[in-house]
Structure 1
């Protein structure tokens, strides 16, 4: 038997017979007795299993049982009453003696019956498949209990931690004093497992709101923990997990945060060289940022923090970095300075993409932590993207020119331009936005160099090099969409000015929806003279005064709804009454009146609405309703993309699903019904915009 306090020796004398009843890994002995009106003693005995303590602690949290005191004891070897086979299978057994306060004293018997049933079920699953067989389901149960707990007004709580190797001959002793936090023991046991540390014994005592936890621990070789790096990791784990459990109720999705925190702890603790930095993230602001990140965005976590946590933790630790506002010129200067350290084209491409990912992550954090609102978020993402696109173009021209020479038209340099459309063109970017781009060059000619080639071939190669250089973080995220170029996917990657003018002309081959889309066209990079000519050609086509074919627009919307939306589901963008209805309606109004009113030729939807209102074309009451509906769609779409990391999957979760509940919390609604009502109202408003237009 392991070293034990005299108190625990007394417990073994009193309840040791329960250990003798354990005959197999699947067997769990459950004993209960009432101590007072609302207090019960529960004793558990079974074989020791990796992660078992975290499972027991998780179930207690899930059932709302408050641990007033606990003694956790590990007993090595098998009892004499066991069969020879059982003795060889069971190397050690555990016994937990718990004093529990149950949430409903009147239904305590029933609550304990359910707890017993769940313990037996999970113990059996662990005996067959280990901790992985039960972890996900248990996390969901724990999260459900944590969600019902009101967040504390405090951002951080004091924690006293002492680690001593002199109190026991065989064990390292950890002593933790702090406020009682439901879910801490569950998270702590998981973290120690990641550190490859076993809890041999533990005592938990609750006095008022303060908990005094003592753990006797050993490493995987059943030795004390004496390594300095390991001890530093222990201190970090104890403090960080206590604070994390404390902040869980602030997360819109605690279950997601628990899963992602476990991954964070694993990656932080796998490298002892970073142990010295651990204490630097134990601040209220840093912990709040971590809790926000882990409980809001699975996409950001998976695509940034997992891959770049070494580079990104300095950002998370430094609140001033998150609060710092940068403009287009500052980003351009920063990027140019960083690119000077690169030698080859490949070096510079890596520097550029690392810069893009880091700064986009910082902007995303600014939004998640509510430093900036929706409008500023979109504006900053757009400005950063303009800088990245412009610099990528310069790098790619440098690389292609080195091979083919400079393109020329009539003995003069051939102008070129890159233009944005869609959300990017409208400066309306959000989480997981893609980039709609058009590449235009001045005209036919040849390059001047060692390997002269046609301008068309040069710019085809330029666009291919550009597409290869600017990396997408994930499919659908910062992914380049070029379908708006003349002739779509059947056309060349880069178009001459003449081709653009002929295609986007009053009697050209452009479709009705392309005329709507061209409202959002905006120059980004290249020769200003050429860009001016492109925009003049766009204006001649879009704002020609030719009537819009509303029947065609409504036919397109019906096809989008019936062909691109799963039956019985709601796509916030494409379903009838979705975001596209507001966007198409605004674009149609801007086209109808933009011929006579050049001030209406703006790519941003809400700026266009403001100008339509100022011009008396849309009444103030209707304009306010449209802003409300537009904001509902955009915020909800951004919230979905932040979690899913997919610009294309905008399907609303089912109303009775946990995902819908988490979505409503992320958006600040008190309950899912309020979100559902707002979406219904917004869809009705959006759908009714088209009344009388068919």
Structure 2
């Protein structure tokens, strides 16, 4: 149970709802108040909260998500998504925004009562026009339909192919700059709080969210912030089964995996088949990290040869994305013998 917003805020939200063309069940607002954390009401104006409540009222089996685009000052837009909660949904959302050539500048993400309220402040790439609300919602519903049918891998692969087209040629060194990842298990009783800082580049948040999803990490809440050219994001996470990430070895393994998958995602345009490359890279990483993920001594975690440099990751993207046969019938079967060479 969250702390309720001030009475004046609730009164303003109710007044905004009353101005709508059709009434909304009061239980939906009560659900927002009971379960959403105070940060949501601090971030959103009463009129926007009322709009989100109306969107939540429209959810149902045939329409598991609603999306709206609102123009803001300075050529920016708020993309709000109210939807039923699905695992890996946050990464799908970030990927769709990137595929539509939108940079995520800031935002906040919340889950409650098996629903999500996600608000992204976006900037179109290269002075493009306003985001296409209908196209974004259509694409989102298509992705969620696949996830609901337990075809998450297919949804991710379709998205990765679109992303490779949107991101264009492989990026320079800035996109694969190191990440700073810090874990905090004291700030929340239920969730591990993770702070991530790194160079902000196109697709940064998708690459990060995708890495967490591939590692079976559930994202409960996110605060997104960009300061200059640096992204500073905070995640409230847990394992898919609900456990916090408390063991130091588990944290180090997740830190390494997230950093590598994030970097590899930026190099997908190098691969003949980006979706194939990412799927097999995740399996490759499992095998590469099967030993001790926390090397002794200070400094950054060690990584096997190809994983330790941008050039190596780029070559691996080409290799793993070239054919299913290469991984399934050769590299995977001979992994233990090949890893020292790689």
TM above 0.5, yes or no, is yes
**Match of residue 84 from structure 1:** none
**Match of residue 54 from structure 1:** 91
Picking from 147, 162, 166, the partner of 1:145 is: 166
Structure-to-structure mapping, 1:477-516, within 5 angstroms = none
CA gap of 1:150–1:241, structure 2 versus 1, over 3 A, is: closer
Q: 1:41, CA displacement in angstroms?
A: 0.3
Q: CA RMSD in A?
A: 3.0
Contact 2:207 2:261 in 1 (8 A): yes
Asked whether 1:63 is paired with 2:100, we answer yes
The structure with the greater share of residues assigned to helix is 1
Q: 1:291, CA displacement in angstroms?
A: 2.4
Contact 1:256 1:295 in 2 (8 A): no
CA gap of 1:158–1:245, structure 2 versus 1, over 3 A, is: same
**Match of residue 189 from structure 1:** 209
Q: 1:294, CA displacement in angstroms?
A: 2.5
Asked whether 1:241 is paired with 2:264, we answer no
1:155 & 1:107 partners in 2: Cα distance? Answer: 25
Contact 1:142 1:255 in 2 (8 A): no
Q: Secondary structure at the match of 2:265?
A: helix
Cα offsets for 1:488-527 (capped at 9, x unmatched): xxxxxxxxxxxxxxxxxxxxxxxxxxxxxxxxxxxxxxxx
Aligned length: 297
Cα offsets for 1:304-324 (capped at 9, x unmatched): 4322334433332xxxxxxxx
Asked whether 1:10 is paired with 2:46, we answer no
Picking from 292, 313, 317, the partner of 1:290 is: 313
Q: Which runs of 5+ in 1 are unaligned?
A: 78-91, 317-694
**Match of residue 216 from structure 1:** 236
**Match of residue 320 from structure 1:** none
Q: Which runs of 5+ in 2 are unaligned?
A: 3-34
Picking from 112, 116, 141, the partner of 2:133 is: 112
Cα offsets for 1:174-222 (capped at 9, x unmatched): 1111111333433433333343321101111112221111110012332
Contact 2:165 2:269 in 1 (8 A): no
1:308 & 1:9 partners in 2: Cα distance? Answer: 54
Q: Secondary structure at the match of 2:61?
A: coil
Contact 2:223 2:235 in 1 (8 A): yes
Cα offsets for 1:121-162 (capped at 9, x unmatched): 22233223441342322221112112x245315695132111
Contact 2:161 2:273 in 1 (8 A): no
**Match of residue 145 from structure 2:** 124
Asked whether 1:95 is paired with 2:117, we answer yes
CA gap of 1:229–1:285, structure 2 versus 1, over 3 A, is: closer
**Match of residue 45 from structure 1:** 82
Contact 1:281 1:287 in 2 (8 A): no
TM-score (structure 2 length as normaliser): 0.75
Structure-to-structure mapping, 1:524-543, within 5 angstroms = none
1:224 & 1:255 partners in 2: Cα distance? Answer: 29
Cα offsets for 1:368-396 (capped at 9, x unmatched): xxxxxxxxxxxxxxxxxxxxxxxxxxxxx
Moved more, 148-157 or 50-59: 148-157
Cα offsets for 1:35-57 (capped at 9, x unmatched): 02521001001111122122112
TM-score (structure 1 length as normaliser): 0.39
Asked whether 1:260 is paired with 2:280, we answer yes
Cα offsets for 1:516-560 (capped at 9, x unmatched): xxxxxxxxxxxxxxxxxxxxxxxxxxxxxxxxxxxxxxxxxxxxx
Structure-to-structure mapping, 1:206-605, within 5 angstroms = 206-251=226-271, 254-268=274-288, 271=290, 273-276=291-294, 279-281=301-303, 286-296=309-319, 297-298=322-323, 300-316=326-342
Q: 1:173, CA displacement in angstroms?
A: 0.9
Q: 1:253, CA displacement in angstroms?
A: 5.1
The structure with the greater share of residues assigned to strand is 2
2:276 & 2:104 partners in 1: Cα distance? Answer: 25
1:48 & 1:24 partners in 2: Cα distance? Answer: 13
Contact 1:184 1:245 in 2 (8 A): no
Structure-to-structure mapping, 1:25-40, within 5 angstroms = 26-40=63-77
1:25 & 1:276 partners in 2: Cα distance? Answer: 46
**Match of residue 161 from structure 1:** 181
Cα offsets for 1:532-589 (capped at 9, x unmatched): xxxxxxxxxxxxxxxxxxxxxxxxxxxxxxxxxxxxxxxxxxxxxxxxxxxxxxxxxx
Q: 1:268, CA displacement in angstroms?
A: 4.5
Cα offsets for 1:382-429 (capped at 9, x unmatched): xxxxxxxxxxxxxxxxxxxxxxxxxxxxxxxxxxxxxxxxxxxxxxxx
Contact 1:247 1:288 in 2 (8 A): no
Q: Secondary structure at the match of 1:224?
A: coil
Q: 1:31, CA displacement in angstroms?
A: 1.8
**Match of residue 592 from structure 1:** none
Q: 1:254, CA displacement in angstroms?
A: 3.8
**Match of residue 633 from structure 1:** none
- Which structure has more RCO (C-alpha within 8 Å, separation ≥ 6)? 2
Contact 2:288 2:304 in 1 (8 A): no
